[in-house]
């Protein structure tokens, strides 16, 4: 049986957890939180990062930092995980959904500007499958209309965008703020976990406060104030050191993990035409400005019925591909709040996209063996 996902363990997670425990500091913002954050800042040139208990929480921090209030409008794709919207809805935002591109589940950059009103505050880009949205276009629109850009980079660790300036930039380092996920389905993971990346100095000091339950505890520990207290809104966004220590073992192995995942991705890309020649589908395409971080390998079948048959056929052979998002604009919670526009590309990916089993330890010959089952 080949499941869709199997979390990879490098073997050193428990070693670092022992070390964290031995240090006597297991609550948040200890040694491992700090070295994880430092790694991300150095590696991908974020100005400041903060580990969080989930990507949802990192997105909530974005919504709080941007002072999102009731009635503010936030533009984002409908074909995304519920948390992209949920985090802004919690602050009272109205979500304005953009359709996906027709060649990719990411949002159609050319359909954003027509949705901007006087109430629009933020554009949230989602780098689906770790493939960059066209950030030059999005940043130009945001700058023109004085909007903030949040990159939902949940799937986009170690992926890049090269725009008109020719400089290859890490996803999550381009918008004002960004959120990453370390959920067990991600390239590097700690079960549940996330990261807020801050690229605009204005947000750094307040982010530390919001992260630490609305207190100026960070300043206190740096000796900048002599006691700490309640100074702002916030929550308990920081994870246990147990989680941070686990994540550090994954970070140490990221190069090995990424190399292997890319091999698997390339193998799929080279073999799916032949392996699934009985089905009608398209393969993922990569825009010239984007890199592939091998987060997932997906196919887009020609119809919902075709996808249903595809999934059933593979399941019968012991392979478990899975569909993905349900369009948020049609969800039970939001359909009566949506402005009624049809989003046909989002619906198309909802009905036709399927994700192949994909994890570090997956072996190509296991797949071939399963597919040869009658």
Which stretches of the chain bind its own copies, using CB under 8 A?
3, 6-7, 9, 13-14, 17-18, 21, 24-28, 53-57, 60, 82-83, 85-87, 89-90, 183-185, 189-193, 213-215, 227, 229-236, 238-243, 246, 326, 328, 331-334
- Going by C-beta distance under 8 Å and a sequence separation of 6 or more, which residues neighbour residue 103? 285
Question: What distance in Å separates the CA atoms of residue 145 and residue 138, rounded to the nearest whole number?
Answer: 11
| Nearer CB in complex with its own copies: 154/264 | 154
| Nearer CB in complex with its own copies: 6/111 | 6
**Block residue for tokens 């052979």:** 317
| Nearer CB in complex with its own copies: 90/271 | 90
To the nearest whole angstrom, how small is the minimum distance from the Cβ of residue 1 to its own copies? Answer: 12
Question: What distance in Å separates the CA atoms of residue 52 and residue 13, rounded to the nearest whole number?
Answer: 18
What is the chain's Cα-based Rg?
A: 21
295 near 183, Cβ under 8 Å? no
To the nearest whole angstrom, how small is the minimum distance from the Cβ of residue 163 to its own copies? Answer: 32
- Strand, helix or coil for residue 84: helix
To the nearest whole angstrom, how small is the minimum distance from the Cβ of residue 201 to its own copies? Answer: 22
To the nearest whole angstrom, how small is the minimum distance from the Cβ of residue 226 to its own copies? Answer: 12
Cα angle for residues 237, 240, 241 (degrees, 5° grid):
130
To the nearest whole angstrom, how small is the minimum distance from the Cβ of residue 162 to its own copies? Answer: 32
Question: What distance in Å separates the CA atoms of residue 266 and residue 263, rounded to the nearest whole number?
Answer: 5
Picking from 100, 147, 109, the residue whose alpha carbon sits closest to that of residue 128 is: 100
What are the E-state strand segments in the chain? 48-52, 73-77, 94-98, 120-126, 148-152, 160-162, 168-170, 177-181, 194-198, 281-282, 298-301, 353-355
| Nearer CB in complex with its own copies: 45/69 | 69
To the nearest whole angstrom, how small is the minimum distance from the Cβ of residue 128 to its own copies? Answer: 18
| Nearer CB in complex with its own copies: 106/194 | 194
Question: What distance in Å separates the CA atoms of residue 263 and residue 363, rounded to the nearest whole number?
Answer: 10
| Nearer CB in complex with its own copies: 41/192 | 192
To the nearest whole angstrom, how small is the minimum distance from the Cβ of residue 263 to its own copies? Answer: 22
| Nearer CB in complex with its own copies: 221/230 | 230
Question: What distance in Å separates the CA atoms of residue 79 and residue 128, rounded to the nearest whole number?
Answer: 9
Edge-to-edge, what's the strand order for the sheet holding 281-282?
Answer: 281-282, 298-301, 353-355
| Nearer CB in complex with its own copies: 231/371 | 231
Question: What distance in Å separates the CA atoms of residue 64 and residue 210, rounded to the nearest whole number?
Answer: 8
To the nearest whole angstrom, how small is the minimum distance from the Cβ of residue 90 to its own copies? Answer: 6
- Strand, helix or coil for residue 146: coil
């Amino acid at each position: 049986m080949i499941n869709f996902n199997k979390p990879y363990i490098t073997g050193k997670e428990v070693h670092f957890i022992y070390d964290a425990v031995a240090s006597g500091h297991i609550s948040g913002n200890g040694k491992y939180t700090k070295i994880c954050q430092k790694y991300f800042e150095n590696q991908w040139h974020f100005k400041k990062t903060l580990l969080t208990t989930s990507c949802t929480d990192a997105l909530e921090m974005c919504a709080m930092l941007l002072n999102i209030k009731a009635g503010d409008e936030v533009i984002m794709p409908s074909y995304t995980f519920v948390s992209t919207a949920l985090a802004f809805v919690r602050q009272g935002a109205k979500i304005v959904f953009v359709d996906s591109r027709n060649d990719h589940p990411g949002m159609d950059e050319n359909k954003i500007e027509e949705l901007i009103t006087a109430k629009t505050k933020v554009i949230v880009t989602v780098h689906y499958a770790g493939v960059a949205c066209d950030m030059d276009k999005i940043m130009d629109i945001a700058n023109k209309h004085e909007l903030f850009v949040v990159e939902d980079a949940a799937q986009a660790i170690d992926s890049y965008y090269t725009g008109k300036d020719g400089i290859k930039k890490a996803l999550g380092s381009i918008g004002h703020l960004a959120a990453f996920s370390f959920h067990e389905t991600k390239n590097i993971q700690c079960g549940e976990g996330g990261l807020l990346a801050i690229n605009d100095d204005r947000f750094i000091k307040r982010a530390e406060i919001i992260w630490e339950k609305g207190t100026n505890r960070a300043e206190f520990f740096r000796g900048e104030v002599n006691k700490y207290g309640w100074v702002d809104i916030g929550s308990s966004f920081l994870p246990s050191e147990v989680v941070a220590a686990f994540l550090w073992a994954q970070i140490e192995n990221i190069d090995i993990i990424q190399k292997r995942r890319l091999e698997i991705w390339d193998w799929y890309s080279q073999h799916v035409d032949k392996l699934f020649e009985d089905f009608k589908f398209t393969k993922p395409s990569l825009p010239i400005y984007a890199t592939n971080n091998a987060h997932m390998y997906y196919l887009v079948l020609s119809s919902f019925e075709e996808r249903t048959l595809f999934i059933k056929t593979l399941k019968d052979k012991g392979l478990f591909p899975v569909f993905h998002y349900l369009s948020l604009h049609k969800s039970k919670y939001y359909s009566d709040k949506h402005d009624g526009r049809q989003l046909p590309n989002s619906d198309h990916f909802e009905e036709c996209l399927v994700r192949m089993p994909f994890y570090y330890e997956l072996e190509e010959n296991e797949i071939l063996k399963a597919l040869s089952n009658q």
